[in-house]
Every structure is written in structure tokens, then in C-alpha cells.
Amino acid sequence: MFRHHDVHSNRSAEALRIASLRKVYGGGEDSASAGPAGSAGRQVAALDGISLSLPAGSFTAVMGPSGSGKSTLLRCAAGLDQPTSGEVTVDGAEMSGGSESELTRFRRQRIGFLFQQFNLMPTLSVLQNVTLPLRLAGRMADPRRAVRLLEQVGLGDRSHDRPAQLTGGQQQRVALARALVTKPSVIFADEPTGALDAKSARSVLDLMWQAVHRHGQTVVMVTQDPVAASYADSVHFLAEGRLAGRLDQPTAETVAERMTQLGGSPTSAMPTLPRVGGARRGSHTPAMGTLVAA
């Protein structure tokens, strides 16, 4: 079980607010970012006026056909890319203007990341990878907290190993511990199970579910997998750079049906799992235990 603490006591009830977000490639409106389709002076709106509000302690999936703008939305919302116009507010603080160093500082203070390919540093140990965000932010790294997080994701005995000595699923669990170590306002996950087998994917999704529903973490996940999306509280669908609907209390079946209607091709390596206690859950790996507040 989670042990509650006051890390979120001064945080906004709204974890993420996106207002009239646009990202245009090519043509001069955003000439510094030509983008894959913005050639020969033609403007392509990857995001076309998206507005969205997500409460703290929510698990949100973002889905859509290829080219719908879902990855662009994640990158702009996470401060990895500059929108052409619009506003992004994370935990009550607006992400706007400023220098690249100021934007980097904003991300390090408020945002955690999970990537499909893990993005671990191969020359660092597992423990050093987990504490790296704290060191980059100039904050005191607490090895004991990092070890506790590794124990909670089932890797307490692998802290001195290098990433190459771990399986893909284990590397993604290290990446999750790394994302949690800074106690971020929002974790953005870009296809976090896309490179994993079914068992490893379920383990990672279970841990993400626990972080949200037993710890109050906020997670925004881009995925093409209806089963992965069914772990979320809600799914927001995109098509041609615009919001195209929302599905609350999703199941793999209802998500797949909606994606088919939008012209997408949903795929999943995981079998459909039964709902337990109102949320999609899988079978926990016995060695992993349960996430607790560290």
C-alpha cells in the first residue's frame, strides 16, 4: 500500500492545462521547424487549436491514427518542442517563452519522462541512472530513496548493474524509477510499452497505475495499444491535429472500436485483462511488490 505524504500538498488541483495549442510546420509561420511534412512553403498544422485540462492524480491516454498529432501534443505539453501558439500550464505554472536553459529548468522541476527506448545512460549503473535527474537539476541525490524506488519496481538487487545487463522490461522499470525520483507534477510517457513483451508491458502498466491511484501521481501516456490505454482513467482521441472525442473508463474493446472508427489500426501484444476494482489491472510480478511513497 502507499504511504501518503505531503509532497503534493502545495500542488494545484489541475496538473496540466493546454489552451488553444497550435503547432504549424513549414510556410514561415514556424519556419525554424520545417517538420517532416512542411516542405516547399506548405503549412501543415500538426496541432490545430487543442485545449485540454487534466486533474492531478489522473491517468490519461492519448491515441489517434498515424499523423494525428499525438506525439507532437506530448512533446509540446512536456516542453520538448515549442508550439507555434497557445499555452501550456503545468501544476499552476505557465510554460512560456524564456531561454532554453529556463525551459530545461522548468522540465527538471516539474516533469518526468518515460520513453519507448528507455533512454538510460549505458555507462552508468542502474542506481546512477535513477539519481541522474536530481544531479542534473543540482539537487541533493538521496541514494536511499533511489534504492527504495528500485526495490519497489522489483530491482533492488540490480542497483550496481549496467543497463545492458537488464532485459527490456527491467530497463523500463529503471526508467520509471528515474521518472519518479524527482516527484514530478506530471509524467509524460511516449509509447512506454511499445518495445516490451506482453508480460513486461503489464508489469510496467501495473506500476504506472499504482503510482496514479495509490500515490496521486499524474500520468499522460501516448500509445497505439488499446490494452495499454485501458489502464487509463480516460482516453483522448486525436485526428488531423484536433481532439476527436473522449472515452472514460475505457476497455480494450471500446478503445479499439473507437480507433477503428477514426481510421487507425490499433495493435496490442497483450491479451485483454479483466477489470478489478473499477480499473484495468494485470497480474503483478511477485518479485516487484507494490509501489509506496518513498
User: Is residue 57 within 8 Å of residue 209, measured between CB atoms?
Assistant: no
User: Which range is most confident: 7-16, 137-146, 243-252?
Assistant: 243-252
**Selected residue with higher pLDDT from 183 and 4:** 183
In this model, does residue 213 exceed pLDDT 50? yes
Res 28: pLDDT? 57
User: What are the pLDDT digits (tens) for 2-51?
Assistant: 233 333 456 789 999 999 999 999 865 444 444 555 455 688 999 999 99
Residue 196 phi, psi (nearest 5): -110, 155
User: What's the predicted TM-score (pTM) here?
Assistant: 0.84
pLDDT, position 278: 42
What pLDDT does residue 42 have? 84
Per-residue pLDDT averaged across 129-136, rounded?
93
Find the mean pLDDT for residues 243-263. Answer: 94
pLDDT for position 270: 60
The pLDDT, as a whole number, for residue 189 is: 97
Confidence tier at 286 by pLDDT (50, 70, 90): very low
Taking only the tens place, the pLDDT of each residue in 156-166 is 999 999 999 99
pLDDT digits (tens, 9 = 90+) for 45-103: 999 999 999 999 999 999 999 999 999 999 999 999 999 999 999 999 999 767 888 88
The residue with greater pLDDT, 195 or 29, is: 195
Domains located in the chain, CATH noted: 50-78+97-280 (3.40.50.300)
pLDDT digits (tens, 9 = 90+) for 256-273: 999 999 886 666 656 555
User: Quick one: pLDDT band at residue 198, thresholds 50, 70, 90?
Assistant: very high
pLDDT-based confidence at 281, cuts 50/70/90? very low
Question: What is the arithmetic mean of pLDDT over 186-205?
Answer: 95
Residue % of the chain over a pLDDT of 70: 81
